[in-house]
Structure 1
């Protein structure tokens, strides 16, 4: 294969040198590689009256001559090779090589400003674009500063290669959770004095306070402030996700509310004799389907501002909340900075509108 070209591009270049004979390619995907070759100045593609055609350039002929020459010939000056008619290869010569769909997709994205809309078809020969996007993500050929996104819309399957935001590439400093609360923050001290605010079991209560202590300390080191939430007692279980926050962190003038919840495990409920009797006697009686018991897992719900990484963090297998505190602290700062930018943009828009109005009055 020629240096600088992949196997598919080399095959298309050889095919163009033979006059683009029919019966070589089973579909029109060769045009993607042809665009890549044209961008390198190796071929020239034309389309007139709906007829697609490609021809070698002088650079393309020299490229082929170098690839077909022996090592001794390559070291010296390339001899003048008269044009000759090549016999088209057997129609099954090219399809024998395995098609690299990832290279093909990335080439096509590069030729279309990193954005494609593919038709969604059905049938045995339809292309599964979601599968191809997934394979491209796992190929290791996408730069670490970019990500490949795909979704189905009313226009078709949209594929986009975008730059990853700088905040996602930033290396975060781990937030250390203290082993003991020797000097609790005022927010933590208030939650200690009034344990009914969170209604956590003893198995997670102390750990929750230490995590809050670490988060509040980390955000205050960035110039933010923390205050106690307005709630006095925990709400009923069915309303707990919509409850008032347990504490609030103010970043760049934006209030970020935090609600700390204890996860629950559920198991199938086994009806008792009394429940069966009550359900038979009273038609409005409902036997619960599941039993819920408090788990040793915590969940932080974040409200306020524009979400970046997410709005909820929970204990995960192999990744407890302690390991996610750096992301939560970054989320607070990102939401505050975003709110500050929006306020400045609004102020600039108001100033521009005021100046425009004053200019109109002056002209009048």
Structure 2
């Protein structure tokens, strides 16, 4: 077992490998040197599967961590007590009975690790309801937010190899069709190399179930890589430099002021700088320490990252749109019910008012007849007035007309608008 003291970076990587929550693989190229140093000391192993390695803790590495933690009193991140199946089941119940979200405000490192183990147990023991999947944010800092989402867990792209092989020489007839037809704004000397790079990109993209195509007419891009519903144009560029142009000088002693531009033969590929991906790396090219061919895996990892980010944003947007649509549909149903109730209420109140008026008219007629009889008797003109009044009372009395449930009014947008409480009667949005 290695006894040499590890530095902080090596110890952190060793703990991460022990944790197992975020595996260390050949995709973590920035950790490769550290992993190799740990492997040379016998603390980790790097078995390969399909041309890719993943770091695994050896027994010597486990003993080294135990000795280190006993000496420094620094707990291994996975030291918290393993959660039970009951805790994982309780989490699922909380998510189902609530709004599908559980938030833990800025938990301590030990508690944060315990929640990660609970999530692992929920997935491993198949406690997640069928047709749903768990997500969480705040793995290492900030609030830990756990959410239960409908649908299957989004599939992540297959990791790429550590290199995207570019052939040293390739006949034009062997080029990928997209690489052969792509517009490449470079000098003739660099054109064969540029097409070989595009050929390697096309092959690597198709190996990972991506789609490559020629851009539409008018586009400055050389190639378009499509991942699911996201398209990423790739732009080729060749550097240049200025040099004095002595071709116009007649005499050797004449001062040369003219300048001419020459291609630098330094190639560069770049993605668009777009608003959804601020601050992300977008340019890869020839430098003193490396060539563009060496940076193609980095380019693909950036495309994969952007595609995954955009897919999550689309899912979030679609989920919000669906939630809005459901609220709008509920508001429309309530508005139709309210429209019918309001219509019936108005008719009923009108009938009650008419009935009250008819009853009052009849009572008035009875009082008028009694008054006339008590005096000199009812005159012909008074009798005619009383008869007309009684006829009028019968005509307006709804009780004599056997009223029925009225037909519902037309549910037109303008009729529904007063009952929608700010929703548009035409589409799922606020008016």
TM range (shorter): 0.3 to 0.5
Higher RCO (Cα < 8 Å, 6 or more apart): 1
TM-score (norm 2): 0.36
More helix by share: 2
- Which structure has the larger Rg? 2
